[in-house]
A = this chain, B = another copy of it.
């Protein structure tokens, strides 16, 4: 790749004039500008970011630490949202797949320090509380929050999403929903249980007995669904549930099959609702899964906006989900 010096030589002009053309300084004669621009186009020249970073002491780089995120289909939208904003604002996003606590996390942080990243977004797979030490570069937490709130955080409003979804369920006439919740290691599960129960209480019902933990996450192993056992018990009762609310779409998928094996039809015999709107599963299930979409894309955007604008506040930003209505209840 050539340099401004080379261009100046060819255009028989000074280095500075080339620089002016590139930086759109109006103080350049039309003819000179045209001449220089044609040489630039001819050479396919691009100004060196490295040199610009040196000179300006600004990197325009935002780091994105994805803690297992890109291996998990549900949250690629976090990355997409963040990248779209970075793009719009002329920033460069650097993505790292890491495992928290492992050496990959440290290495990524030092790489980002070496590039003089202006901010870092740390994204977790599941909504959770983490203990995140402060650092010289500002950090924004995504889909998680610092237990001592030293950093701004973007999380889904799980309480509200559960409340709203439950409200829709009641509005449609269901009265005996059972909630197959996520494991208690996921922070969202507690919030959702409260949202579910509060909404039920507002309708004069106590459903405390109807919340079940349906997902176990053994260390180092894939999560295990317990839909099978739970549904066997529930559907054997006299007062069968009329709707199964699932903590995530892949659990709902499992529920579809378990119900099928029991000879029960989704919606006709028992309705199903869920959280995630996971592409392509929610769409592909038959009947299509009516589910509360998590605002991952928007969360990614907001995180990047905060990272770029450098909010000094350490607020927790809770984003709303949106209900995607299909045919499962």
Contact = CB atoms under 8 A, between A and B. Distances in A.
Interface magnitude class on chain A: 35 or more
A196 B94 CA distance: 42
Contact of A111 (B51, B59, B92): B92
A113 B51 CA distance: 13
Contacts of A104: 87
A70 B79 contact: yes
Count copies of this chain in the complex: 2
Interface string A269-288: 00000000001110111100
Contact of A70 (B48, B76, B111): B76
A116 B1 contact: yes
A47 B257 CA distance: 55
Contacts of A130: none
8 contacts: A51-B54, A54-B54, A70-B70, A73-B73, A73-B76, A76-B76, A83-B97, A260-B260
A318 interface: no
Interface string A40-54: 000010111111011
A113 B115 CA distance: 17
B113 A46 contact: yes
A136 interface: yes
A110 interface: yes
Contact of A284 (B70, B107, B250): B250
A281 B74 CA distance: 13
Interface of A: 1, 44, 46-51, 53-54, 59, 70-71, 73, 76, 79-80, 83, 87, 92-95, 97, 104, 107, 110-111, 113-116, 136, 222, 250, 253-254, 257, 260-261, 279-281, 283-286
A137 to B, nearest CB: 9
Contacts of A73: 73, 76, 279-280
Nearest to A56: B50
A184 to B, nearest CB: 21
B47 A250 contact: no
